[in-house]
């Protein structure tokens, strides 16, 4: 099978014989990769133009939802990726890290977007700065997608995760990407990529793929473009120095070779939990993905008095690892990614042998496999007995199941050895001595991108030395390339242009969509807390009545809160303080402010969601009168799941002033505000008005029901919900009931082609009434009875054909969706 490339929005084959790709276990040919004849310059322009246009106009929130939808789509198809992954030599556990680890990165960034990023195509970065004495000139920064394309060059060891972890940040940032996977395992990347395209979730031009040689791809890079490279440091340096990259200000991120280390603490003697954890961690890092991990432990740094103990325990542990065909359940370590990779590792092993001792070769029989046909290599353990004079262990990385033991005397030496790697992605310390951990970690931090500490306290929940996490930076200084990937929202900055914005409060409010102090406020008769999330506009404001603070207020608040700080209670202790007399509690002022601006009437505001940046500027004494200015400052869309009301967060600027208009307190409060439901409320009076427009000759927009059949169907469902009619069975499998009930709470409409499981052979029931008018009357009567029934029986529950047993709230949500569905069917909504 020749792998097709995806460029210009279409699948294209190369026009040469290409590069043959092999099964790493059996040696059989799997596919051919070929990029000959492709117009890569046009592919880059296609991404820069159409891809950038489509992605950059989406909001961060929408791009986050896109990542989630894509991850869910791929998750449903994961079985076939596992079947392909075995051909790369990966065991089931290896494949899980690669495949589902990639999905997990998408899910993580989707969650970050929904919780922390705005529902705008740009991102306001940092606080607003006051640039003039009177506040008429302000400044802030915004981040926008870089106007270019991101070329992502990945390594062969993680053909799925490598692609998805880079795409998670570039796509969320709004930058189109061209993916160039490492050729040997590109057939797995290709399978996942193909489904991403077929999903239809991504906008046109968002991603492209080439499998095989990169050709002249990087020679066509321009200003605004970026390159993310994972691979050898030597290759990365050559690419970075290319004139098209170095002279065009192309952003370049490199994640390269890394001689990572793990340090066993001086306290971690045999018999301690930490000793056992250390042996297990080193063994796992040597054998997971057959040691083909950029984060694998290459240098094992051990107290000199424990070298023999560690050597014996580690060899014993490695001997228990069964090597062979990943499809065999007994196998715990598969093969390298191919014969070429095997030869490269063997060459490095021979280099290590020139100055260090190979103390464990690990040659053993394979399970359902053949050394000659596959790319299998047993674990190799070296000993460097003089690591401060023999540098080869700190310079040569064998990218396979290979690691070197080396001794140290104290924490100073441990940190020094760690740093001799000249830059690592990760270093770990396994110890229960916090002083040793603290002293060693900060000393080695300068040459490490991540420091992982493991001991008995966190072992059960530990993700392991070699697992990069989406919320933490993946990268390292020096030899490791100096790059930074992921790291939570920081990972997006690589793809974003930071721009300073200066202007008046009104101008900055218009640009940032965040209210700036001094900008115009929008006052109206309707209290802002009576507006749904979609109806709230930035700048919506309320000026409250005044409240005069009394001595009784101060005393009572102190008694209720138990805050008896002297400044509130003892006038004789105020000499030398900033207060003239007993002062009102700051939190009383904030509470009193809430009492002034909160609307007591039930409305779309669901709950207080939080408090940010509260500051008190002037004391408030008994006799002072406070007034509050409440202004809608910012809106944050919120992803809601489960049985929660669809809502968003509105941030309100609270300015409390005294009778002299002096600001005494400023805070930002957050409220959870319901979104406006797209479904009709269940109200028989409203339905009477709507049904006046329904005629017997009215044709449905979909389906085969006639108008009278629709009304009789709705009447029947109303009667089932009050117990007037009953069913003793639910057609939905029990394990799906919860998901079906959860769906009642979201704003997704009922599907138009949903097959009614209660209809025998799909046949509609016979009509009960003479004509449409009689059906209208009975339907309205059933709605009236439904409303009365639940007023009188608020705790009632009844069984539904599809959604199971429903209470009053869920029954109401069902009918809102159901009635809207059929009213839309006949143009009544």
Of the listed 165, 261, 274, 294, which one is catalytic? 294
CA–CA separation, 563 vs 252, rounded Å?
A: 55
For 126: left if phi > 0, alpha if psi spans -120 to 50, otherwise beta; the answer is left
User: Tokens 């979201």 appear where?
Assistant: 746
CA–CA separation, 488 vs 494, rounded Å?
A: 12
Greatest C-alpha distance within the chain:
101
| Start-end of H helices in 423-540 | 434-444, 505-512
- Would you say 816 and 806 are in contact if contact means Cβ atoms under 8 Å apart? no
Of the listed 100, 165, 255, 655, which one is catalytic? 255
Q: What is the CA radius of gyration of the chain?
A: 33
Q: Determine whether 261 is an active site residue.
A: no
Q: How, if at all, do strands 663-674 and 605-616 pair?
A: antiparallel
Residue 747 corresponds to which tokens in the numbers above? 């704003």
Q: Which of 699, 711, 828 is nearest to 767 (CA)?
A: 711
- Would you say 437 and 266 are in contact if contact means Cβ atoms under 8 Å apart? no
- Would you say 823 and 680 are in contact if contact means Cβ atoms under 8 Å apart? yes
CA–CA separation, 417 vs 421, rounded Å?
A: 7
335 CB-side CA count, 13 A:
35
User: Tokens 């639910």 appear where?
Assistant: 730
Q: Which of 686, 257, 731 is nearest to 476 (CA)?
A: 257
Q: Determine whether 255 is an active site residue.
A: yes
- Would you say 266 and 190 are in contact if contact means Cβ atoms under 8 Å apart? no
For residue 503, the cross-strand partners are 138
CA–CA separation, 129 vs 27, rounded Å?
A: 63
- Could you tell me how far CA 158 lies from the centroid of its own chain? 19
CA–CA separation, 780 vs 685, rounded Å?
A: 8
| Start-end of H helices in 306-395 | 307-319, 339-353, 392-395
Residue 607 backbone dihedrals phi, psi, to 5 degrees: -165, 160
CA–CA separation, 211 vs 181, rounded Å?
A: 6
Q: Which of 45, 43, 19 is nearest to 31 (CA)?
A: 19
Helix (H, G, I), strand (E, B) or coil at 72: helix
Residue 250 corresponds to which tokens in the numbers above? 């192309």
Q: Which residues contact 557 (CB under 8 A, 6 or more apart)?
A: 563, 568, 584, 585, 587, 588, 591
Helix or strand holding residue 647 (H, E): strand 647-657
CA–CA separation, 357 vs 536, rounded Å?
A: 71
CA–CA separation, 210 vs 40, rounded Å?
A: 9
Residue 68 corresponds to which tokens in the numbers above? 């989630």
- Would you say 125 and 143 are in contact if contact means Cβ atoms under 8 Å apart? yes
The burial class, CB within 10 Å (0-12 / 13-18 / 19+), for 685 is: exposed
Inter-residue long-range contacts of 745-751, CB under 8 Å, 24+ positions, other chains counted: 745/640, 745/642, 745/643, 745/644, 745/645, 745/646, 745/813, 746/640, 746/646, 747/646, 747/675, 747/677, 747/678, 747/679, 749/678, 749/817, 749/820, 749/821, 749/824, 750/817, 750/818, 750/821
Residue 579 corresponds to which tokens in the numbers above? 């207060």
Q: Is the dihedral of CA 808, 813, 814, 815 positive or negative?
A: positive
Active site residues per annotation: 255, 294
């Amino acid at each position: 099978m020749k792998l097709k490339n995806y460029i210009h929005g279409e699948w294209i084959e190369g026009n040469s014989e290409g590069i043959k790709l092999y099964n790493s276990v059996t040696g059989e040919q799997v596919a051919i990769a070929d990029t000959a004849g492709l117009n890569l310059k046009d592919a880059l322009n296609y991404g820069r133009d159409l891809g950038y246009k489509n992605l950059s106009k989406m909001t961060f929130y929408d791009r986050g939802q896109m990542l989630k939808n894509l991850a869910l789509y791929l998750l449903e198809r994961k079985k076939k990726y596992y079947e392909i992954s075995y051909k790369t030599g990966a065991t089931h556990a290896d494949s899980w890290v690669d495949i589902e680890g990639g999905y997990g990165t998408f899910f993580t960034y989707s969650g970050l977007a929904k919780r922390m990023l705005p529902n705008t195509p740009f991102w306001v970065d940092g606080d607003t700065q006051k640039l003039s004495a009177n506040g008429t000139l302000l400044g802030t920064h915004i981040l926008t997608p870089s106007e270019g394309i991101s070329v992502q060059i990945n390594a062969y060891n993680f053909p799925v995760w490598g692609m998805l972890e880079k795409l998670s940040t570039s796509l969320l940032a709004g930058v189109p990407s061209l993916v160039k996977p490492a050729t040997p395992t590109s057939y797995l990347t290709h399978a996942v990529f193909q489904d991403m395209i077929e999903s239809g979730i991504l906008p046109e031009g968002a991603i492209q793929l080439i499998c095989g040689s990169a050709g002249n791809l990087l020679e066509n890079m321009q200003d605004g473009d970026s390159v993310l490279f994972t691979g050898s440091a030597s290759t990365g340096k050559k690419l970075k120095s290319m004139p098209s990259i170095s002279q065009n200000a192309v952003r370049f991120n490199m994640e390269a070779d890394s001689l990572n280390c793990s340090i066993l603490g001086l306290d971690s003697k045999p018999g301690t939990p930490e000793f056992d954890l250390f042996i297990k961690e080193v063994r796992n890092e040597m054998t997971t993905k057959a040691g083909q991990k950029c984060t694998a432990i290459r240098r094992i740094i051990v107290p000199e008095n424990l070298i023999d103990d560690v050597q014996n325990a580690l060899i014993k542990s490695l001997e228990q690892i069964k090597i062979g065909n990943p499809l065999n359940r007994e196998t715990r370590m598969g093969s390298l990614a191919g014969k070429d990779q095997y030869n490269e590792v063997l060459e490095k092993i021979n280099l290590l042998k020139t100055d260090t001792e190979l103390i464990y070769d690990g040659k053993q029989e394979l399970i359902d496999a053949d050394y000659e046909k596959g790319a299998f290599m047993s674990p190799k353990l070296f000993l460097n007995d003089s690591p401060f004079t023999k540098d080869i262990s700190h310079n040569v990385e064998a990218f396979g199941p290979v690691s070197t033991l080396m001794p140290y005397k104290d924490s100073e030496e441990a940190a020094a050895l760690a740093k001799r790697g000249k830059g690592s992605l990760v270093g770990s310390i396994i110890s229960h001595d916090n002083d040793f951990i603290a002293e060693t970690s900060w000393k080695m931090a300068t040459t490490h991108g991540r420091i992982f500490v493991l001991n008995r306290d966190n072992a059960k929940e530990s993700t392991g030395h070699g697992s990069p996490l989406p919320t933490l930076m993946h990268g390292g200084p020096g030899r490791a390339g100096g790059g930074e990937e992921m790291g939570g929202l920081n990972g997006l900055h690589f793809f974003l242009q930071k721009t300073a914005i200066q202007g008046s409060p009104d101008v900055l409010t218009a640009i940032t969509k965040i209210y700036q102090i001094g900008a115009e406020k929008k006052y109206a008769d309707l209290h802002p807390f009576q507006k749904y999330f979609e109806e709230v506009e930035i700048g919506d404001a309320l000026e409250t009545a005044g409240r005069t603070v009394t001595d009784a207020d101060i005393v009572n608040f102190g008694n209720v809160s138990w805050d008896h700080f002297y400044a509130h209670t003892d006038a004789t202790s105020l000499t030398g303080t900033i207060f003239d007399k007993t002062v009102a509690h700051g939190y009383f002022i904030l509470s009193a402010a809430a009492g002034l601006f909160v609307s007591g009437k039930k409305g779309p505001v669901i709950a207080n969601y939080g408090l940010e940046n509260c500051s008190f500027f002037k004391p408030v004494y008994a006799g002072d009168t406070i007034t509050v200015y409440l202004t809608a400052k910012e809106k944050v869309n919120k992803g809601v799941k489960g049985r929660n009301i669809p809502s968003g967060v509105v941030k309100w600027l609270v300015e409390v002033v005294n009778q002299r208009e002096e600001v005494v307190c400023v805070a930002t409060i957050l409220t959870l505000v319901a979104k406006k439901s797209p479904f009709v409320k269940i109200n028989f009076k409203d339905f009477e008005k709507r049904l006046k427009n329904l005629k017997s000759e009215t044709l449905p927009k979909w389906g085969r029901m006639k108008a009278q059949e629709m009304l009789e169907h709705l009447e029947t469902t109303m009667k089932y919900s009050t117990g007037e009619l009953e069913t003793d069975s639910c057609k939905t499998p029990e394990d799906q009931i919860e998901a079906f009930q959860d769906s009642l709470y979201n704003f997704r409409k009922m599907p138009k082609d949903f097959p009614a499981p209660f209809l025998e052979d799909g046949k509609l029931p016979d009509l009960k009434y003479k004509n449409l008018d009689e059906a209208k009357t009975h339907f309205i009567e059933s709605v009236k009875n439904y409303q009365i029934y639940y007023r009188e029986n608020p705790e009632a529950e009844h069984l539904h054909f599809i959604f199971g047993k429903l209470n009053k709230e869920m029954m109401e949500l069902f009918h809102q969706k159901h009635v809207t569905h059929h009213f839309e069917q006949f143009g009544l909504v």
